[in-house]
Chain A
Amino acid sequence: MNLTLRVWRQSGPSDAGRMVTYRVEEVSPDMSFLEMLDVLNERLILEGDDPIAFDHDCREGICGMCGMVINGVAHGEQRATTTCQLHMRHFEDNATITIEPWRAAPFPVVKDLVVDRSAFDRIIQAGGFVSVPAGSAPDAHSVPVRKEDADAAFDAATCIGCGACVAACPNGSASLFTAAKITHLSLLPQGQPERLSRAKAMVDQMDAEGFGGCTNTGECTAVCPKGIPLDTIAQMNTDYLKANAK
């Protein structure tokens, strides 16, 4: 396959940035999207150009490090996929592909396609945990958990923190990310003591970071590689309201 890429290049936070066009030839359909970029980067290095910076690590769809907006869609058009798990066979020969970083004010561009997602860590710091120091735990079987609750908690807990939900949201909201953690912990008995204070602290931190509000457009769950359900946001709102009513 031969492709034309339009890639966002930005040397640093103070650079205005621009789209740059590259031609990539003899792309194998079996390549992953990132491998296709590897091939281009190898060429750029040898030509003395600056290769395109992008984040990636596990390349098996679980670490959450990679992420780019491909033809206007976070992680590309294939559903339930991270960028690293997207393969070139889903593109047409001679296609033009536009590649941009996550765009949201709380995710400033570091370089090219690399953005700073540390706001997510600060939301977790605000309360996305159960306060249980090592060595203090009772026997694991002392508190049974309904299987339905455990399964639903698991579904919410699969969030990989990639930030696609924010990139896809017209409001730049981090509601799906925040709600996934709140739901995971509020469905389990271990998460009950801090349930309301957690919801309040995390939502307040999300707002403080400059993420927008949720207006139920559902773009977030459509691009989520793990298919985190939209109803987690309802759970978050319920807990948040209860916390504020107290």
Chain B
Amino acid sequence: MKYTEGPEIRDTKAPEGPIEERWEKRKFSARLVNPANKRKLNVIVVGTGLAGGSAAATLGELGYNVKSFCYQDTPRRAHSIAAQGGINAAKNYRGDGDSIYRLFYDTVKGGDFRARESNVYRLAQVSVNIIDQAVAQGVPFAREYGGLLDTRSFGGAQVSRTFYARGQTGQQLLLGAYQALERQIAAGTVEMFTRHEMLDLIVADGRARGIIVRDMVTGEIERHTADAVVLATGGYGNVFFLSTNAKGCNTTAIWRAHERGAYFANPCYTQIHPTCIPVSGEYQSKLTLMSESLRNDGRVWVPLRKDDKRAPGDIPEDERDYYLERIYPAFGNLVPRDIASRAAKNVCDEGRGVGPGGLGVYLDFRDAINRLGRDAVEKKYGNLFEMYERITGENPYDVPMRIYPAVHYTMGGLWVDYDLQSTIPGLFVIGEANFSDHGANRLGASALMQGLADGYFVLPTTLGDYLADGPFGEVDEAAVAEAELKVRDRIERLLAVNGTRTPDSFHRELGRLMWDYCGMERTEESLRKALERIPELRKEFWENVKVSGTAEELNQVLEKAGRVADFFDLAELMCLDALVRTESCGGHFRAESQDADGEALRDDEAFAHVSAWEHSPDGEPVLHKEPLVYEYVKMTQRSYK
């Protein structure tokens, strides 16, 4: 796949000056809209997860006319709900040396020096307000006997800054945002559209002015216009078919916006989580995450010999390879996510994997049970063991768990400036859908923080500044009609193929290809192979997909087919981005770029930049680089040995 290089992005609109003053400066310089005018301004928010739900609620509270859209039957289902671990905030309630600066530092470093300093600093600043807001809403965070909030440490951080609500932090935070949203719906400031899927963006006179949606119950194609559009549509991990994402998660909203002119940044940055329940068969529809905390007491191992088919209990100690402890004696089983994932892949590639298909490694609690007693282990991990047994039918107290890495989060997304505005004026992108704060690797418990920071605090300020120039008047009818026609044409095309393969069968094949060639480890050869194979498969899709039913009814096959079609185009851009970035960084491991010990090797000379891709109608994407400058955190190579 060919591409060309366009001009660099020099201005991200971040204010100048000391980093701790930048957000304050921006807030002060943002123009205000008087309450009477707010009522005349219409805003569309797509997606109702932590970012979209909190944004729609907050914009409603401020007095804007908001329309909120989600594909589920109620906004409370968005996939933020599945986040388990917790939410980071620099409260320093423990007095253990945490600070805004330390959270900022940890996030920049954890992102392997591929995130913007100004954005990350703001995120750390705002983090403290999120906890206040959530507590005031009645989010039942874990508490200590003194009545104060409990925290835990997470993902290698040296301080205890992760607030949590048992293993359901995402659920509780989302319900807080959902309830705030429902309150605004009742107040009449937000109009809610459930079971509606965005299928195109309306751009008129150079501004984002609305969306085309399909009512998923009646099949009706609707036009909704506004003065600004906010996308909060989540990540695109489902391009791999199997991931920890919900089945409905898709790239369609951001991909259509990309085709309309929004740059797509760092599409190749994907996070692969090391502790998921392995695939059990061809029919597998999704992967389930097991909390990372299991690695605190479980020991990871595989048989020393290839193709060892003995039951784990029959393999004597000296024929086991505790490979993480062997390779990384300092961190052992607690190495970061990307390193643990890759090591598991390596031993499985050597033919030493366990379970069906040889794609799994043992996570063994035998020693922990002997050392701490079964009761203590049950207290700590009982619910996780139960969840594991429910899914696999195996009892982890007797047989070691089997785990394998799975796609979990995408750090890439639509490019946004400091104001969270994309390259299309009036199109704002928040939460996982944008690329902004995690660099090449997201730290645990930071996704919830970013979604809510964007939705409750950042966007309401910066969007106001944009809307101060509005209302923008009637939307050009030709632009609306063109977008609607495009959507209708595409649906007709999908229905007309009437081939012999289901959308899911194509999706599975694409996912497998992406996992093999653009997964945990990427090489020039694998990526070139993928770039050759994806267009062939896409061609077959458009010639041989079978979509049953009609467009004028609830049609889950049609919904799926449309999403898969967009995944093909995204997959191609991901592989191209991965091919061009010949360094290894964070979640992106290029086999050609490793040090003598096999660890990821960054190339800061050539790649300390964001890769922002511009769509071009002739098919040759244009690469714009946004240089990353580190004024505060010194760039270093990570080591965990």
Contacts and interface: CB of A to CB of B under 8 A. Distances in A.
A134 B132 contact: no
Interface in B11-36: none
Nearest to B280: A30
Nearest to B71: A57
Given A57-B246, A62-B168, A140-B149, A190 B74 contact: no
A35 B246 contact: no
Nearest to A136: B136
Contacts of A32: 285, 391
Chain A interface residue number, banded: 35 or more
Contacts of A44: 548
Interface in A63-100: 63-65, 81, 85, 87, 89
Given A137-B133, A140-B135, A184 B140 contact: yes
B79 A154 contact: no
Interface of A, helix, strand, loop or mixed by DSSP: loop
Interface stretch (B180-188, B205-213, B410-418, B528-536): B180-188
A117 interface: yes
Contacts of A81: 390
A146 B142 CA distance: 11
Contact of B285 (A11, A38, A146): A38
B393 A42 contact: no
Interface string B124-149: 00000101111111101111111111
A92 to B, nearest CB: 15
Contact of A60 (B194, B284, B288, B500): B288
A169 B145 CA distance: 37
B286 interface: yes
Given A12-B553, A145-B143, A134 B58 contact: yes
Interface stretch (B110-118, B171-179, B319-327, B618-626): B171-179
B283 A130 contact: no
Given A38-B283, A59-B285, A89-B393, A50 B548 contact: yes
A53 B390 CA distance: 25
A55 interface: yes
Interface string A136-169: 1111110111110011011001101100000000
Nearest to B168: A158
A116 B556 CA distance: 16
Contact of B140 (A114, A117, A150): A150
Contacts of B37: none
B248 interface: yes
Contacts of B76: 64, 121, 161
A12 B550 CA distance: 13
B502 interface: yes
A16 interface: no
B283 A31 contact: yes
B104 interface: no
Interface in B205-252: 217, 244, 246-248
Given A147-B145, A150-B140, A157 B175 contact: yes
Contacts of B286: 59-60
B147 A129 contact: no
Contacts of B54: 134
Interface residues of B, number: 81
B632 to A, nearest CB: 27
A60 B147 contact: no
A120 interface: yes
A191 to B, nearest CB: 5
Contact of B248 (A57, A64, A140): A57
A60 B388 CA distance: 11
Contact of B391 (A85, A126, A139, A154): A85
B554 A56 contact: no
Interface in A159-194: 160-161, 184-185, 188, 190-191
A130 B139 CA distance: 10
B138 A134 contact: no
B81 interface: yes
A11 B247 CA distance: 23
Contacts of B186: 125-126
A57 B79 contact: yes
B217 A135 contact: no
Contacts of A49: 548
Given A65-B73, A150-B142, A158-B171, A135 B285 contact: no
B325 to A, nearest CB: 30
B500 A63 contact: no
A135 B129 contact: yes
Contact of B144 (A30, A132, A137, A147): A147
B148 A111 contact: no
Contact of B82 (A51, A53, A63, A147): A63
Residue with the greatest number of chain A CB neighbours at <10 A, chosen from B138, B180, B284, B502: B138
Contact of A125 (B147, B183, B248): B183
Nearest first, the 9 A-B pairs at minimum CB distance are A144-B147, A137-B136, A129-B179, A154-B140, A125-B186, A137-B132, A140-B135, A150-B143, A134-B58
11 contacts: A42-B504, A46-B546, A50-B548, A58-B246, A81-B390, A117-B73, A125-B185, A137-B137, A138-B132, A147-B145, A158-B171
Interface of B: 54, 57-58, 61, 72-79, 81-82, 91, 93, 129, 131-138, 140-149, 165-166, 168, 171-172, 175, 178-180, 182-183, 185-186, 192, 194, 217, 244, 246-248, 280-281, 283-286, 288-289, 390-393, 456-457, 460, 500, 502, 504-505, 546, 548-549, 553-554, 556-557
